[in-house]
């Protein structure tokens, strides 16, 4: 006796959806990746403000990335009999790409509460090194003021980054200046002012992803039998910096000490 199993329309529809699910998930993941990539690209090209990338494109990239993960996971879990070989590989790729895209906006959102809402870090908060060359550059871009934010910013920095402090060298101010300039150049910064007589170096650095420009000023002065080096890093755009300027100052100090 032969028993025939009848597959209902609903079951057949689910099976077709599960077979097509990996491709749909991959499409969603690709669109999410494009949205994540064009955010900073559009800001660099001048198509939109960087806030459009952070507040609109990145969230939508995250939503589509999560959707891609969901569709891929359902296809692989519920359609394991019909989703095999190439389809399974597509589903796994969609799952990984979607997860990677969704992680970036989530990571940035998590950092908002980790770092203080400041974007100007100095080893001397009582008498920060002053920008001179950067003033004109900032005005040309209608960027943030080069003026220091005062006691409130200093207090927030001290609480968040208590380790950031001046560097003292047992070397003349002239020798210390040469080391300070060499360290800035080794880090790949673009030097905009080089004034040995005043003991002042100015430069700027750009972030890799969005290409945000941050200005740096270094001050070298004689201190007793040696010299003291102060460095300040300040963002041209935005209010917070996700700790970027503090990291830059730390890297510079490490580079300066490593070159001694």
Q: Where are the domains of the chain?
A: 9-112, 120-258
Q: What is the pLDDT of residue 7?
A: 47
Alpha helices for 113-242 (secondary structure H): 133-141, 151-160, 173-186
To the nearest 10°, report the CA torsion of 162, 163, 168, 174: -90
**CA 155 to each of CA 115, 142, 222, 224, 235: distance values in angstroms, whole numbers, following the listed order:** 13, 27, 27, 28, 18
Query: CA–CA separation, 188 vs 238, rounded Å?
Result: 23
Q: Which residues of the chain have pLDDT under 70?
A: 1-19, 79-85, 259-260
Which class in CATH covers the domain with range 120-258? alpha beta
pTM tops 0.85, yes or no: no
The pLDDT value recorded for residue 4 is: 47
Distance CA 95, CA 133 (A): 48
Label residue 259 left, alpha or beta by phi (over 0 means left) and psi (-120 to 50 means alpha).
alpha
Specify the pLDDT at position 219: 98
Q: What is the pLDDT of residue 5?
A: 47
Strand partners, 229: 167, 220
Read off the pLDDT of residues 141-200 as tens digits, 9 standing for 90 and up. Answer: 899 999 999 999 999 999 999 999 999 999 999 999 999 999 999 999 999 999 999 999
Helix, strand or coil for residue 249? Answer: helix
């Amino acid at each position: 006796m032969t028993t025939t199993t009848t597959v209902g329309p609903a079951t057949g529809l689910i099976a077709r959806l599960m077979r097509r699910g990996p491709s749909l998930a991959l499409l969603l993941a690709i669109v999410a990746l494009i949205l994540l990539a064009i955010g900073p690209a559009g800001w660099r090209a001048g198509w939109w403000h960087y806030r459009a990338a952070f507040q609109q494109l990145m969230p939508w990239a995250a939503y589509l990335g999560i959707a891609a993960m969901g569709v891929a996971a359902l296809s692989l879990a519920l359609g394991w009999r019909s989703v095999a070989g190439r389809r399974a590989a597509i589903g796994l790729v969609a799952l990984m790409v979607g997860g990677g895209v969704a992680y970036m906006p989530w990571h940035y959102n998590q950092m908002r509460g980790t770092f203080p809402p400041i974007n100007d870090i100095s080893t001397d908060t009582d008498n920060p090194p002053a920008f001179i060359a950067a003033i004109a550059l900032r005005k040309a871009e209608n960027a943030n003021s080069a003026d220091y934010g005062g006691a409130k910013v200093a207090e927030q920095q001290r609480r968040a980054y208590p380790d950031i402090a001046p560097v003292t060298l047992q070397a003349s101010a002239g020798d210390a200046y040469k080391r300070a300039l060499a360290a800035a150049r080794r880090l790949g910064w673009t030097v905009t002012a080089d004034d040995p007589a005043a003991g002042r170096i100015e430069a700027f650095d750009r972030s890799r992803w969005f290409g945000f420009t941050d200005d740096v000023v270094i001050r070298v002065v004689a201190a007793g039998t040696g010299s003291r080096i102060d460095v300040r890093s300040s963002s041209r755009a935005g209010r917070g910096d996700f700790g970027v300027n503090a990291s830059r100052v730390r890297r510079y100090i490490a580079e300066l000490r490593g070159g001694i």
